[in-house]
Amino acid sequence: MFTGIGPFSISIAKEHIVKIYAIDINPDAYNYLKENIKLNKLKGTVIPLIGDVEEVLSGLNIKSDRIIMNLPGTAWSFLDIAIKSLKPGGVLHYYEFASEFQIPIDKIIETAYPRKVEVINRRKVKSKSPGIWHMGIDARIY
Ligand SMILES: C[S@@+](CC[C@H](N)C(=O)[O-])C[C@H]1O[C@@H](n2cnc3c(N)ncnc32)[C@H](O)[C@@H]1O
């Protein structure tokens, strides 16, 4: 989700034999993503998709092993469709601007309910403003 020009997608597909659906709503990002797919020698496959993640995912009807959500301001509003699109035991890589880890973790647990959530990693990516961090939470959702 929110792939931009594909930094996560391209880096992963360069090293691994994978199939990645890379979605962004911005036409410029989508065009550079397609360029990046051509320029980099990928082991895996990156499928570029343009549009709103909710609409694209609803149309695709796929279940993923992993979903990356690096849109820290508003990713919370796409948690529902992300969790619905995740296989049982799949991993969510979720980013949010927050003051403490428990805030994004609670949102994931609440949205995933009654599915069980196991937080497997949490990190401060960088400072956003005083007391607020760009945080990453990796959670396995059963
Ligand atoms: C913070 S950037 C992240 C880009 C990339 N993942 C990275 O880490 O460099 C967020 C991206 O989300 C895209 N975006 C925002 N809302 C979206 C939506 N509803 N559906 C699809 N893409 C969206 C923007 O166009 C932008 O490229």
* Residue range 98-108: mean pLDDT, rounded: 98
Burial of 16 (0-12, 13-18, 19+ CB in 10 A): exposed
Between CA 56 and CA 6 the distance in angstroms is 17
What does the pLDDT read at residue 78? 98
> Which tens digit of pLDDT belongs to each residue from 12-71?
999 999 999 999 999 999 999 999 999 999 999 999 999 999 999 999 989 999 999 999
Phi-psi category of residue 95: left, alpha or beta, with phi > 0 → left and psi -120 to 50 → alpha: beta
- CA-nearest residue, atom 27 of ligand 1: 4
How is domain 63-142 classified at the CATH fold level?
Rossmann fold (3.40.50)
Predicted confidence (pLDDT) per residue in 44-58, tens digit? 999 999 999 999 999
pLDDT confidence of residue 61: 85
- Higher-pLDDT residue of 129, 61: 129
- What Å distances lie between residue 88 and 2, 74, 85, 114, 126, CA to CA? 22, 24, 10, 12, 30
Q: Are 74 and 104 in contact (CB under 8 A)?
A: no
Ligand 1 binding pocket includes 23 (Cβ within 6 Å): yes
What angle in degrees, to the nearest 10, is found between the helix axes of 7-15 and 27-39? 20
Over residues 108-132, the mean pLDDT reads 98
| % the chain with pLDDT above 70 | 100
Residue ranges per domain, the chain? 1-61, 63-142
Ligand 1 within 6 A of 29 CB? yes
Instruction: Please provide the average confidence, as pLDDT, over all residues in the chain.
Output: 97
Residue 20 CB–ligand 1 contact under 6 Å:
no
Ligand 1 center from residue 43 Cα (angstroms): 24
**pLDDT score recorded for residue 80:** 97
